[in-house]
Structure formats: C-alpha cells, structure tokens
Structure 1
Amino acid sequence: MADSSADHDLDPRYRIDGSCWKFIPVISDGFFNEKEGESIFKHQLILLQLQLALIFILATTIHLCLRHFYLPRLISEVLSGVILGPTILGRYLPDVSATLFSRHAVKVLSTLTRFGYLFFMFLIGVKMDVNLVRKSGRREWTIGSIVIIFPILFIVSAAQTISLKVDKVEEDAQQWVSLFAGLFMLTSFPVVAILLMHLKIINSELGNLTLSSALISDLISVVIVNLDKMDKLSKLASDRVALKSTFLVIVLIMFVVMILRGMIYWIIRRTPEGKPVKDAYLFFVIIALLVVAVAGENAGLQYMYGPFILGLTVPTGHPLASTLIEKLDTIVAGWMLPLMSTYCGFRSDLWVLKRRPPAWIVFTVTFGVLFKMACGFISAICLKVPLKDATAMALMLTSKGIIELGCFATNVDKTDIDPQEFSWAVLSVSFYAALVPIVTRKLYDPSKTYRGYQKRTVLNSSLNEGVRVLACAHRKDDALSAIKLLQLTNPFIGTPLSVFGLYLEELVGGSSPLLLNHQLGQKSCSEGGHWQPIIDVFNHFKNQCSKPTQVQVYTAISPQSLMHEDVCWVSFQNSVALIILPFHRKRNRKGKIIADSKELRAFNIRVMNKAPCSVGILVDRDRSRWLPMADKSSTYRVCVLYLGGKDDREALAIGRRMKGWPSVYLTVIRCKEDDAQQGWEAMLDEECLRDIKHQSRENNNVFYKEEIARHGADTSLIVGSLLDENYDLILVGRHSDSSSPLVEGLSAWVDLPELGAIGDMLASSEISKTVSVFVVQQQVLGN
C-alpha cells in the first residue's frame, strides 16, 4: 500500500534500501491497539468510511431542510461538498481538513466517484427505451433536433470567439471553453427524466413530449460530441491517428452490438419465464461493462460511452434489465453517484469567486441558455403546442444536473482548468438544477391537467350515445371482476357500450413510462407476455356482446406512484364517464383475505382525487368467472341503496342500466328523513327516483321501497338488513359529504374513507357473504 501519510509518493525516508513503498495496512487494528505515534487516520479504509459517513449525514440533513422548497437532492449533495471542501472546512479547520481529505484520500474518493458514474451511465442505457425514437413523430424529432443543433453551432463558436478576443484566453485553453459551452448547450435525457419524475408529470402529454424530445436530442449530441473529438484529434495529431481511433471505436461498437448483444439475448433465452437471472450471468454483464469501459477509453471513446452503449443493448422490460436495476440501482444511485456531485462541490472553492467571471462564461450561462430555450419554445409553438406547455417544455430541456457535473468532474484532471472557472461551472449547474424545477412548477400545474367543466358521468350520458367505461386491472382477476359488472349494463343496439380496458404494470428496469394501445398494434420489448391474458378477457367479452359494444385495450407501464396519471389520461382522452377500480383487498374462493395492498389502496385514492369523471371501486366477493345470463332460470339481484346526494344519483344511474336483463332484478331502497328539507338537492333526488317508481309499477324486474331513518344508527340497521336478503350486488354512493343526518356519527368508525361510511360497512372484511359492492363517486367538477 502506498504511503498515504507522505506528501509525495516517493518519500526519501523509504528509499535507502531501494524500495519506494511503505507498507501501511488498509484496515486498522482498532483505536486501542494503535502503536505509539500512529493514528487510525493513517489507514485508507478508515478515512474512506469516515468520509462517506460525513458526506451522507450532512447531505441528508441539508436535504431535510431544502426539500420543503422543492429543491432536488443534488443541491444538498453539492452543498455538503462545499462545506467539507476548501470553502468552509479547509478554511476554518485546516488541520481537520488535511487529516480527513489528504491528497491520497481524495484520490481514492475520486476513483470511487468515477466507478459510480460509469455504472450510472450503464444503468441509464438499460433504463432507456430506444423504441421511443422509433415511436417519436414529427414534433419530437423537430424539437429534439432544433434544441441541440443550433445552440451547439452558434453558442459554442461564439463562446470561443469571446474567450479569445475579450478574455484573452490562450489557444491551448480553448478545450475547456468548448467543454463548458458544449455541456451547457446539451440536453441530457437522464437529467430530464429525473426532473419529470421529481415534478410527477412524466406520464402527462407534456412529459411524454419532453422525454421523447430529450432522448432524440441526447442521441444527436452523442454523435456530435464524438465527431468533434475525432476532428480535434486530427488537428492535434494527424489524420492517420484520427482514422485509427475512429476505426477502433467503430470496431468496439460493432463488437458490443453484434457479439455482446447476442450473448445478452442468449442469457434471456436461457432464463425461464418467472425465474430469476443466474448470478453467473450478472457477473458476466458486469465484467463486460468494465472491459468495454477500458477498451473504449484506450480507443479514443470516453470511458462512460462504452457502458452506455452496452446498456442500450439490454432489452427494456426483460428479467435481465429488471434484475440489473434491482441489484445495482440502489448502490449506484443511492451511494456511489451522489459522491459525484459532492466531489464537484468539494473541488469548488467559493473564495476564489471574488473576481468577476470571464465574459465567455457569463455569455454561455445567460444568453446561451436563453437561446437554447428560444429554440425549444419557437419550435414547439410552430408545432401548435400550447403557450404555457411550450414554455415549460423549453425550460425543462435546458435543465442541468448530475450528467453535467459528472462530465466536469471527469475532465477536471485532464485539462488545465482554472479553479475559479471550475467553481463557476459547478455553481452554474447547481443554479439551473435548483431554478428549473421551481419555475416549471409555477408554469405547469399537474393538478390542472385534467381539469374541466364538462360533465362526464353515467347520469349525464344519454341512452342513445351509450356510456364509455374504463376498466382498470392489475391482474387477470381484476379484469374478470370488471367484466362481470359490465355484463349487467345491458349493452344492446339502443344503449351502446364502449369499454376501455387498461392493464397497469409497474415500471421495473426502465426510466421511460409506456402507454400502449393494442388496437394500433403497439408493443414493447417484452412481446406482450404479461398483458395478453388481460386482452383475451376483454376480447372474450366483446365477442359475447352485441355489435354496438366497442372494446379497446391499453397497457400502461409506469412507476407505482405515477400509475394514476395513466388512468386519468386515458379516461380524459377517451371522454370516459366511469372508471372501474379493483378493491385493494383480495379474497380466495373460501372468502378469506389473501392480499391487502397498501400501494393499490393509495393508487385508488389518487385516482378518486384526480379523475376527470366518475369513479367506482368494485369489491368482488363472487369468485365465479362469468355471470349466468344465458340461463333464464338463474337470477341476479342488484340493490341500489339511495340516501340522496350526487354520488347516490350516479349509483342509481348505473343501476338503471341494469334493469333490462330478464334475469336481473333491480331493487332501489330509499332511506329518507321524517322531515326532509325541500331544496335543490331534494328536487334532484326526486327527479331521479320518479322514473324508477313508475317502472316498479310496470316492470316485474324493478322494485322500489322507502324506509325511514332519523340518524346514522337507523341507517346502519338498514344496511345490516341488506346483507340478509341475499343480494348479489349492492350499489351505493361514496357520500364524500358527511353532513347528512343519515350518516351522522358513522364517519367516526370508518376504516377506509375512500369508500365512505356506507361503503366501508358493506366492504368490511368481517362479512362472510358473497355479496359484491360497487361504491360510486360522481365526477368532482374542477378535477
């Protein structure tokens, strides 16, 4: 082990016998076992562990304070590096700084950050869905191309000219000028994806447009950067050296694409469906990653581009991709990568910023960024993107983050960079990393994405036009449950039905959410293995129904926390009147609860809070696959419990569409007060019930009765009596407004507020009967 205590690698004290190394164990024998005159801080591992502990404790503490201002964690990591660097610790506690961050200790930390950045670029390639390029249309290609080509051509050249004529920068230092200006003109796909995830708009239309444009821009920039590097190599060395380097880079890329990609697909074929990938295969991929990085660096390709290209060859969505993400993402993104931003803050010295920044830096970070924004804004406006969306998108395409910091840290030791200019670079990246999320949040409010004043409810859907329903499914059982409910809505020529099936799959092993319309033949790399059973369920339902029934099936692959955005978007785009959600508790055929998903419950709540239409949660206790509609001797008893209010009016509107089946018996039970106040709400209730009262006198399948309830206790007794009457399905409103005396006192005992007081009672896990429950919330105007 090299002597880390010495100021020079070759300390004269250890050259007498011809050796130039002093043996110092990496691991300490312990604080109490150290020899006299020695310290545990002489050991590199002890120093590294202490450095990591200080960095993460400090960064986490700062982030706990700054997150309330919606600042990304990267800002906290840079600030922790500034505190531990020459700006604060090195200036006010120089002895402590010299002990904790000696020159050799910093080298070890720098090496670790580079390994983290290398693995990060590989994971970015694994997560990136190259199919986004193929699916991108004219808008994405136009915006992505304009936002990178024009800024690179004009701003980099202008910055070089200003540096030569105004700042009198020597020709030898032009490499740093080109690097700085070029990085600020680039659009980084990982940075944009992280920003969209941070703002929770990655599933929106604006998020999809921005993400696709960023991907195209990033891929174009990779080509431009490497062509520029070959051009500089030709000028600095010779054309022969440049051609040789280009040839070696092409050979390396062909080796990755043809040989390593074939071996990756061989690994996928060797892994049975549903089985984990063998560790030996994962070790092979990691070894290939390191070999490609070393070979690329020696061939003239920057060390991170080789792993990035290798990552692109791993198909998104396959078990290998998800396993690599699972094994590496936590340690890379949570531990090794944050060291990169901290290291940049550590290498910065804010005390050297007393002097005015060079004119070319001021030009790049002000006019250059504004010019890049203008390119994105004008191209978006010309392509008929709304004004606010175009502004927000142009701003997000100029966002900066870990990629820029990583490039600066990678090149700080390769080029002759002035400490002041490096500090300005880190400060500028941090400024835009903090500013862009705040301004974008002001420009684009995701809560208003689906806001509208058009009534999208079953109650307002005319019988002639039919009703449009979105059925959500996380698994096949959810689709079967929704289909059983849809069978009751009586789709025939007079009352057509449009069904949109949406299979929801959690995004694992990717950073690009997907929304696939299977009627358009869209697929991803996983070839539909997961969603095909869901498609079969909905297609079978379509074949069993009459011609007016239209069925379309989508698949949404997105993070669990953003899955509700896909539901809201599909329903908004298709003018859906009702969303059917599966209950978060699952039962087996014996009625026992076998699953209770907190994530699914949170998803249901988010949909109900944001949906642009009515929403219903289906508690399916009947485990039969299909309803026995063909059997005329069988009966299906549906009950609508009506207490009044808009949610109950929506539930009654759904029930009215079930009365046409010969084997369906619809019962409407109205609970009312003795002295009910006559107002606007009461008039609406009477209007909705008038037709049911009339039909109950003329139709043997429709029943209507009223029961008097004075308070919540009476209502509770009536609800309990329904369970003894052998109903197959009970429809009830959510009653989000608990001001009615009929539910007074019941809300104090509610375990599941998303179901309301009555729905919570009917969905109780203590009920052993097979009665299913559908809790309905009418559209909240303004959502």
Structure 2
Amino acid sequence: MEAANSSFPKDLEPGYRVDGSCWRFIRVVSDGLFSEPGEHMFRHTLVVLQLQLAIIFILATIIHLLLRRFHLPRLLSEVLAGLILGPTVLGRFFPKISDILFSQQSLKILSELTRFGYLFFMFLIGVKMDVSLITKSGKREWTIGSIVILFPMLTIVLVAQYIGRTVDNMDIYNLEWVGLFSGTLMLTSFPVVACFLMHLKIINSELGYLALSSALISDLTSVVIINLNSYWQLVELASIRVALKSMFLCIALVVFIIAVLRPMMYWIIRRTPEGKPVRDAYVFLLVIALLLVAIVGDNVGLQYMYGPFILGLAVPTGPPLASILIEKLDTIVTGWMLPLMSTYCGYKSNLWELNRPLPASEIFVITVGFLLKTTCGFIPAICFKMPFKDATALALMLTAKGIVELGTFATNADKQSIVTQQFTLAVVVVFILAAAVPILTRKLYDPSKTYTGYQKRTILNSSTHEGLRVLVCAHRQDDALSAIKLLELSNPTKESPLSVYGLYLEALIGGSTPLLLNHQLGQKSSSDGSRWQPVIDVFNYFKSQSKKQNQVHVFTAISPPKLMHEDICWVAFDNSVALIILPFHRKWNSKGTMISDSKVLRALNCKVLNKAPCSVGVLIDRSRTRGPSILTKSSAYHVCVIYLGGKDDREALALAQRMRGWPSVFLTVVRFIASNDCYQQGWEMMLDNECLRDVKHQSKNNGNVSYKEEMVTDGADTSWLVGSLLEENYDLFLVGRHSRTNSPVISGLSEWIELPELGPIGDLLASSEVTNPISAVVVQHQIIEDPNASSIDPCYEERRR
C-alpha cells in the first residue's frame, strides 16, 4: 500500500493524483507466470527489491574477489558497486535500465533499509564495546585519545565554517554542510578502528591495544561534543529553556536505560540457566526496547542512533546475553544491512559532478584538517617515546574512515540540503582514506617482525640465578592441571627459581574489544569472570603448595581465536619467558578414548610455533590421573628422553635435566645413532656430545639416571624402537620437534606424518594407535631465523591468507 503525498507528485500517475490524500493499492508480490496480461514484474516492489539486492551483492562480491589480492577492505568493493549501479556508470550510459532497476520509489525503500540497519549497527557497537577498557587506560591512552579529537574537532570545524562564510560566501544551509563535513572527517570512530585492526590482524598487538583504547576515548568524547553542540544550536535557534528541556529529557532517557533496562538485562541473565542460550522471547523484548529508545531519543532531541548506542553499552559484556544478541543480529546487520548502506552511498554519488571547483572551506578540511589530525596523533606518541614508524602508524590508524562516516553522511543527507557534488565528495574522501590507510600502515608496521631480534630465550640458555621462566597456556582447567604436573618435576631451588606465567585463553564472544587482564594487578572485565576462575584456582593452588622461590602470575586473554597467538607471544616477550607450554589440540578421557580434536586449537599452536619469541613445548596428556599433583600419587615417575640430535633435542634434554633433583623421578636418555648421518658431523655433533656428557657421567654415579644408545639405519628402525619404548613403563616422554628432515634417523617418516607441527617422533607419540596412559612434550628450540619461513609452519599458508 502506498500513500500519495502532495510533496511527491511524481510518485503517482496523473489518474491517481486527485487531492494529495488518496490511496493507491499496489501489490508488492508478483503472481509470476499467473500474472494478469500486461502486468510487468517491476511494478511489484518486493520483486524489485529482491532483484536489486541480488545485483548489488553479486557485483560487490566479484569486485571484492579482485581487490582482496591487494588486502583492501570489503567496504571499497561495496562503494564501487554502488558507483557502477548509480548515475556514474549505469545511469549515464544505460539510463533506461537504471530507471527500471532503480526507480525513485524503490530508492526510498533502500534508503529506509539503510537507516534501519544503521540503527541496529549502532546498537551492536555498544554491545561489543567494553567500557571497562577506559578504566584500564593509562596516561598515554588518555592523552593521545583526547588530543586527537579535541584539537581537530574544535579547530577545523570553526575555521572551515569561517572560511565558508567569508571566502566562499555560503548561506546558512551550506555552512551546515561544512560543519557536518569537517566534523565527521575529524572523528576517530571506535568501530572503524576496531574493524581496521581486525582487517590487518594486529588488534592483539601492543600497538593495536593502544589504538583501540585511544579510539574508544576519542569516540566517547566526540559523542559528548556533538550533543553539546546540538544543545547550543537549540539555544541559538530557539531558547535556553528549550535546550535545557531537551537536555533534561535526554538525561532522563539515559537514567531510564541505566536504572531500569540494565537491571532488567541482569534479571534475564539470572533467569537463563548456565550454559543455555537466552530465550528468544527475551531477545524480542530487547529489540522492542531498542526501537522504542530510538523513537523516544529522536523525539527528545537525541539523534536517533545514540539511544540504541547507549542501550548497547548497558548490555553486560559476554555470554549469555551479549553473545546471543550478536549471534542473532550481527549476521543480518553486518552481512546485509551495512553493505547495503555503503552501496547506497556509492549509488547516490555521481563522479561526473566533481568537475566543478571545490570551495576553499572543503579544500581546507581535506588538506589542513587531515594534516592536523595526523599530527595530533603523532606528536603525543613521540612524546611518549614510541618509535617513529609506530607513532606514524598509530596516527594513521586514528584517522581511518569507514562505515560510520558513510552512515553519518547518508543519514544526514535528507536532513540537510546536501547537493550531489557535496555528497559525492564526502564519499570519495572516505573511499580514498579507507584504501590508503591500510596500505600505508602495512608499509610502516609489520607485526611479524615484532619478535625477530629476540635472542637466546631458551631453557638451555636460561641463567641459573634467573631461573626458568615458563608461560603455561590453558583453554580449560584440564590444560592447567596437566601443565602444573609437568612443572612439579622442574625441581626449583633457591639458586634456580621457577617463574610461572599462567595464561587462560578465551575466545572473544559478544564483543569487539580484546582484553588482556593481569589478575595480580586486580584487573577485571565487565563480563562474568566465572569462566576463568577455575583455571586461576589451579595456578593459585600450585603457588600455595610451592616453595617460596616459585613465582606465579596469572593472566586472562580474551580475543578472537585467529589472533590469539599474538596474546601468547606478547606475554612471553614482555616477561622474558624461555618456554611456552601449549596444550595439545586432542583430548582423551580416563579410558583412553579421544573425545576432542579441535582444528582451531591446532591452527593456534601452529601459529605460536611459527612466531614464538622463545622455545615452545606442546604437551600431549594421556595420563589417567586428574589430581593437581603427580609426585604425591606415585612412588616412582619415569621420564624418557628420545634424543636424535639437533637443537630441538638439546632443549628437550635441558628440560629433562631440571627433573633430576627429585628422588622419585627416574630419567632415561635414549640416543638414536645412524652411522651414515653426515649431517651429524662437525659442529652439530660437538654440541650434542657436550650436552650428553653430563648425562653419561650422571648415569654412572646416579641410580636415577640412565643412558643408552640405539643404532638405526633409517626411519623404519626409529619407528619400531619408539614403539618398543612405548611398551615400557614410562610416564613422560620428552622429544624434540626435529624440523630438519635430512637425517637418516628419520628418513621416510615424513611421508607418513599426520601432524607436521609435532615432527616425526612427536607424531608417533600422538598417534591414535597409542593407548598407553602416557604424557609427552614435543619441544621446539627458539626460532632465530625469519619467522615467516613456511618450512617451519605446516599452517603457514593458512596463516598467510
């Protein structure tokens, strides 16, 4: 059904335009083959909308397949699709097709869909934000975040309007456009920066955390400035009384959200059983509340998108409520409505309109404005002693533009007298910045080189007085228990202490802000911490049962699984860790049956092995004991080191030698020797003999240490000997990863290997054919070479993509 309105006389045919208040009934759905004779399918709005959506998304996908090779965001493909379908290409060269596919009435429907999608987008932004990130921000974040928004926003907007009034002789309507144009381009939008960092896969890096915190502070500051400006305009256009009334009603709406709706959300969470999703009825209730808040906010003087944004901030972070809202809404909003908005902005633009000279005020904003914006991000970063390239990359990140700026221009286009040239210029500027900033940032900041120069962080090179620093990664409580059992064997002493850094890894659900919490500093998240508390309790128990020389520090990393390796590597780098212990991606129950095989965790382990700034051990736990201790449950604990030679095996042996102090631990070193192993001659052989010399000596004087050699000819002999060792009474195996494959000892095994990240021997120990209740640690020596080398990472191609 379609209402005729006198302000839109072209919407109705002459026979229907009577007095401007008549109604014309139009069926939105076609009968297809059974349509009446002469009835055209394009008369039905739903059919036209479906055809428009199909063309838009197919064209945008084709363009993205071409641009993704240059690591450009999808936003550019969507805008280009709109430019092609709009008056720039289709409307100019094929006007009849354009009039049929994109009539004026159908464009109104697309416009309302984009506005509706932007409303839900702002709500999801608030849901994904963790406002507690502000409380964790230090002086550096507050300084950069404040300066990068206050100076450009207050200076450029005022000067641009002054130039427009004096030099360009603009009227009041064009001055409003200059204010919108300059103010929007001077914004630092948190969701744009977060999407930008996710696109570059650096959101978990130190620079990413800094950019995210600064952007959040800038974004919330800009919300305050924009609303204060709105009240000032009310004072000028109406009176102080009207402005105060609007401010009072807006504050009342915010208080209602905090005092009524937020407790209601906690009531919903309490009504939801643990581990169960929130009922759909509660989700519908929140969507209704979202629409009501948007309507009320728009009527009391608050822009219609800010009400949903504040409501989203009030949603408790994480599961079950925030996660179910994102699960229900994120796909349709970010996958359909937002791409439709960016395409609509491209469609409304006309590049042929840019053939006229630009006003001086707009040239000032584009040149001086962005120079000042970048400078305001660069100078504070330099003052805080950041490297030149990192400071420049940070300044560029904080000037990134994207969907928020396009949405601001699109939603205000109908409110102000914005001509096509002005709107096109705004879209083109956002498009250029969205393309240039990722390219420039990639040139300036390479996260893969963060740990390249980090030297000699290994077990073998750990000094005696400093002790051993170990980072234990855990996805669940069983992972922490398995690692603690291993650490009990390390025999810390006053002269050689043990420092343990426990890191609980949780996938980011219901938010866009990754968190790295240091529990020693009392840091907390706004989400429920019951998920990581069992893991923290394991480390706290180990600390309470350990000697005084042991130090235990516990962290929690909440981040996307694809970027979680950055948290692991950064904690290891920042705390000078010598060994990272990773849980194996396969799990077995007490009967020896495999119950879990996670491809996500395997990919994570591969990335850490490829990029770690120290040695790495993958812990394969098949043991039947589930208690917090092993030494108190067994009178004897047998450890076997399978030694083939090389730096990985030397690291495994260095870990084993720390276990000799326990009287209940029996250590056996089995060396496999191939007489025709030319690789083992010279320097490598000398290092191996030096490491084994102490073991040979101890085997003669210490009954708890034994050493033996086995002669092999090829990988088949090695495989058979490993199988025979598995039949013996060993509880723990230590073995190197053996990334080199030219040794006769393991020749031929690589052809049958299932898990290349474990190496040939580790793969045998992790085989599904093994049923013994054993544990194994596969050790990789710190990689000093190029961390991007594909030969050391079987998941390299996946990581690179």
Q: TM-score range by the shorter chain?
A: over 0.9
Could you tell me which residue of structure 1 aligns to residue 556 of structure 2? Answer: 555
SS of equivalent residue, structure 1 residue 8: helix
Could you tell me which residue of structure 2 aligns to residue 692 of structure 1? Answer: 695
Residue 510 of structure 1: how far off its partner (Å) = 0.6
Residue 249 of structure 1: how far off its partner (Å) = 1.5
State how far apart, in whole Å, the 2-side matches of 1:7 and 1:727 are: 89
State how far apart, in whole Å, the 2-side matches of 1:628 and 1:441 are: 48
State how far apart, in whole Å, the 2-side matches of 1:245 and 1:9 are: 36
* Correspondence 1:23 to 2:13: no
State how far apart, in whole Å, the 2-side matches of 1:765 and 1:478 are: 20
Could you tell me which residue of structure 1 aligns to residue 429 of structure 2? Answer: 428
Could you tell me which residue of structure 2 aligns to residue 584 of structure 1? Answer: 585
Deviations 1:723-754 (A, max 9, x none): 12121111110011112121111111111110
Contact 2:741 2:750 in 1 (8 A): yes
Could you tell me which residue of structure 2 aligns to residue 14 of structure 1? Answer: 16
- Which AA in structure 1 matches 2:247? T
Could you tell me which residue of structure 1 aligns to residue 791 of structure 2? Answer: none
Could you tell me which residue of structure 2 aligns to residue 769 of structure 1? Answer: 772
SS of equivalent residue, structure 1 residue 315: coil
Residue 7 of structure 1: how far off its partner (Å) = 6.5
- Which AA in structure 1 matches 2:748? G
Residue 259 of structure 1: how far off its partner (Å) = 1.7
Residue 620 of structure 1: how far off its partner (Å) = 0.4
Cα distance change, pair 453–244 in 1 and its aligned pair in 2 (3 A): closer
4+ runs deviating over 6 angstroms:
3-7, 16-19
Contact 1:10 1:20 in 2 (8 A): no
Could you tell me which residue of structure 2 aligns to residue 288 of structure 1? Answer: 289
Could you tell me which residue of structure 1 aligns to residue 233 of structure 2? Answer: 232
Contact 2:676 2:744 in 1 (8 A): no
State how far apart, in whole Å, the 2-side matches of 1:537 and 1:240 are: 61
Residue 4 of structure 1: how far off its partner (Å) = 9.9
Could you tell me which residue of structure 2 aligns to residue 715 of structure 1? Answer: 718
Residue 10 of structure 1: how far off its partner (Å) = 4.6
Residue 57 of structure 1: how far off its partner (Å) = 0.7
Range with greater deviation from structure 2 (685-694 or 87-96): 87-96
State how far apart, in whole Å, the 1-side matches of 2:705 and 2:615 are: 24
TM-score w.r.t. the length of structure 1 is 0.98
For 1:246-645, list aligned pairs within 5 A: 246-626=247-627, 627-630=629-632, 634-645=635-646
State how far apart, in whole Å, the 2-side matches of 1:547 and 1:60 are: 60
Residue 158 of structure 1: how far off its partner (Å) = 1.6
* Correspondence 1:245 to 2:238: no
SS of equivalent residue, structure 2 residue 260: helix
Could you tell me which residue of structure 1 aligns to residue 736 of structure 2? Answer: 733
Deviations 1:7-44 (A, max 9, x none): 724543135799722212111111x1122221111111
* Correspondence 1:214 to 2:246: no
Range with greater deviation from structure 2 (64-73 or 9-18): 9-18
Deviations 1:614-665 (A, max 9, x none): 001111010302444236x721111101111100000110111111111111
Deviations 1:400-437 (A, max 9, x none): 00000000000111111121111010000010011001
SS of equivalent residue, structure 2 residue 635: coil
- Which AA in structure 1 matches 2:601? L
State how far apart, in whole Å, the 1-side matches of 2:660 and 2:499 are: 19
Residue 209 of structure 1: how far off its partner (Å) = 0.8
SS of equivalent residue, structure 1 residue 594: strand
SS of equivalent residue, structure 1 residue 14: coil
- Which AA in structure 1 matches 2:467? G
Range with greater deviation from structure 2 (518-527 or 132-141): 518-527
State how far apart, in whole Å, the 1-side matches of 2:419 and 2:284 are: 41
SS of equivalent residue, structure 2 residue 154: helix
State how far apart, in whole Å, the 2-side matches of 1:393 and 1:531 are: 32
* Correspondence 1:2 to 2:6: no
SS of equivalent residue, structure 1 residue 554: strand
Residue 272 of structure 1: how far off its partner (Å) = 2.6
- Which AA in structure 2 matches 1:282? V
SS of equivalent residue, structure 1 residue 491: coil
- Which AA in structure 1 matches 2:136? K
Deviations 1:348-380 (A, max 9, x none): 011111122222222212221111110111111
Deviations 1:50-97 (A, max 9, x none): 111111111111111101101100000000111111111111211111
State how far apart, in whole Å, the 2-side matches of 1:172 and 1:630 are: 81
SS of equivalent residue, structure 2 residue 707: strand
State how far apart, in whole Å, the 2-side matches of 1:165 and 1:538 are: 68
State how far apart, in whole Å, the 2-side matches of 1:745 and 1:753 are: 13
Contact 2:83 2:346 in 1 (8 A): yes
Contact 1:357 1:421 in 2 (8 A): no
Contact 1:4 1:104 in 2 (8 A): no
Contact 1:469 1:499 in 2 (8 A): yes
Could you tell me which residue of structure 1 aligns to residue 181 of structure 2? Answer: 180
Cα distance change, pair 222–506 in 1 and its aligned pair in 2 (3 A): same
State how far apart, in whole Å, the 2-side matches of 1:304 and 1:328 are: 16
State how far apart, in whole Å, the 2-side matches of 1:84 and 1:4 are: 28
State how far apart, in whole Å, the 1-side matches of 2:514 and 2:44 are: 46
Residue 710 of structure 1: how far off its partner (Å) = 2.2
Range with greater deviation from structure 2 (737-746 or 597-606): 737-746
Contact 1:316 1:509 in 2 (8 A): yes
Residue 512 of structure 1: how far off its partner (Å) = 0.6
State how far apart, in whole Å, the 1-side matches of 2:696 and 2:325 are: 62
Contact 2:582 2:616 in 1 (8 A): yes
Could you tell me which residue of structure 1 aligns to residue 151 of structure 2? Answer: 150
Contact 2:485 2:630 in 1 (8 A): no
Range with greater deviation from structure 2 (9-18 or 660-669): 9-18
State how far apart, in whole Å, the 1-side matches of 2:152 and 2:323 are: 36
Contact 1:123 1:325 in 2 (8 A): yes
Could you tell me which residue of structure 1 aligns to residue 794 of structure 2? Answer: none
- Which AA in structure 1 matches 2:763? D
State how far apart, in whole Å, the 1-side matches of 2:451 and 2:90 are: 50
State how far apart, in whole Å, the 1-side matches of 2:454 and 2:539 are: 31
State how far apart, in whole Å, the 2-side matches of 1:59 and 1:18 are: 39
Contact 1:515 1:557 in 2 (8 A): yes
Contact 2:120 2:333 in 1 (8 A): yes
Deviations 1:163-219 (A, max 9, x none): 223322223321000000001111000100111111111111111111111111111
Range with greater deviation from structure 2 (770-779 or 14-23): 14-23
Contact 2:677 2:744 in 1 (8 A): no
Could you tell me which residue of structure 2 aligns to residue 781 of structure 1? Answer: 784
Structure 1's unaligned 5+ residue stretches are none
Residue 145 of structure 1: how far off its partner (Å) = 0.7
Could you tell me which residue of structure 2 aligns to residue 140 of structure 1? Answer: 141
Could you tell me which residue of structure 2 aligns to residue 681 of structure 1? Answer: 684
- Which AA in structure 2 matches 1:427? V
* Correspondence 1:724 to 2:727: yes
Could you tell me which residue of structure 2 aligns to residue 703 of structure 1? Answer: 706
* Correspondence 1:760 to 2:763: yes
Contact 1:638 1:666 in 2 (8 A): yes
- Which AA in structure 1 matches 2:93? Y
- Which AA in structure 1 matches 2:734? L
Range with greater deviation from structure 2 (485-494 or 131-140): 485-494
Residue 675 of structure 1: how far off its partner (Å) = 4.5
Residue 229 of structure 1: how far off its partner (Å) = 1.2
Cα distance change, pair 128–354 in 1 and its aligned pair in 2 (3 A): same
- Which AA in structure 2 matches 1:243? L
State how far apart, in whole Å, the 1-side matches of 2:643 and 2:402 are: 55
Contact 1:2 1:9 in 2 (8 A): no
